[in-house]
Amino acid sequence: MHHFDWSGIPGALPTLWSGAIITFQITVVAIVCGIVIGTVLALLRLSSITPLAWFARMYVTLFRSIPLVMVLLWFFLIVPQVLQNLLGLSPDIDIRLASAMVAFSLFEAAYYSEIIRAGIQAVSRGQVNAAFALGMTYAQAMQLIVLPQAFRAMIPLLLTQAIVLFQDTSLVYVIGLADFFRTAANIGDRDGTSVEMVLFAGACYFVICVVASSLVKSLQKKVAR
């Protein structure tokens, strides 16, 4: 039988918090950049310009067909070299966090794109025609009429995807980035309490995701009303 020893967790909280900050940084950057890029991709995919529509379709298909772990490894190997060549950075500078943010942002953009595209298509075409009748351009109709309604309806889905993204940030473990999960695992290896630290990390993810899911459900009810 394993004898659990939870006594080391209080002392490890400051170190765990530093890892949690990295996790939250990746999550926030990926959500913001993913939604922005995803919106552009959704508009391109709905565009009447065939090359742009095909580019968006291929982008979404590519990133939705590749495991996230593989994307992280690709960007871990590619992004540092590109940034070092463009910016003249020293090879000794650790830019794993930047490569993880880029990988998550581009990967999540593909999923946000599909959510946003569905939201745009859910808005009645009659409203777009009415905007044209008022003399609006396509860009104005999207900005002032379609996107505000689409995003209002999409908020629960966007937040649900954000929760999934938060869970997936633990995969930066494979590139050695000291996020919350990696930090917990390192402390467990150092103190011989791997089981306890992994269980504690899992419990933290569980609580955060359950609370966030409850908030999303409440928000979904408000949006429906």
CATH of the domain at 52: 1.10.3720.10
Whole-angstrom Cα distance, residue 135 to residue 178? 54
Chain centre distance of CA 124: 29
Residue 82 domain-assigned (yes or no): yes
Residue 16 domain-assigned (yes or no): yes
Indicate whether this model's pTM tops 0.75. Answer: yes
Residue 2 domain-assigned (yes or no): no
Whole-angstrom Cα distance, residue 193 to residue 96? 27
Residue 3 domain-assigned (yes or no): no
Residue 92 pLDDT exceeds 80: no
Residue with tokens 């994307």: 71
Note the pLDDT of residue 162: 92
Backbone angle region of 67, left / alpha / beta, with phi > 0 → left and psi within -120 to 50 → alpha: beta
Split into its structural domains, the chain has a count of 1
Structure tokens at 224: 């429906």
Whole-angstrom Cα distance, residue 17 to residue 34? 25
Residue 1 domain-assigned (yes or no): no
Q: What's the domain range around 181?
A: 9-224
Those residues whose C-beta lies under 8 Å from the C-beta of residue 175, and which sit 6 or more positions away, are: 72, 73, 76, 96, 99, 100
pLDDT tens-digit series, residues 103-131 = 999 999 999 999 998 888 888 878 878 88
Q: Calculate the average pLDDT of the chain.
A: 86
pLDDT tens-digit series, residues 193-202 = 888 899 999 9
Residue 93 pLDDT exceeds 70: no
Q: Which long-range contacts (CB under 8 A, 24 or more apart) does 217-224 make?
A: 217/156, 219/155, 219/156, 219/159, 220/156, 223/152, 223/153, 223/155, 223/156
Residue 4 domain-assigned (yes or no): no
Of 133 and 162, which is predicted with more confidence?
Answer: 162
What percent of the chain shows pLDDT beyond 70? 93
Residue 142 domain-assigned (yes or no): yes
Residue 216 domain-assigned (yes or no): yes
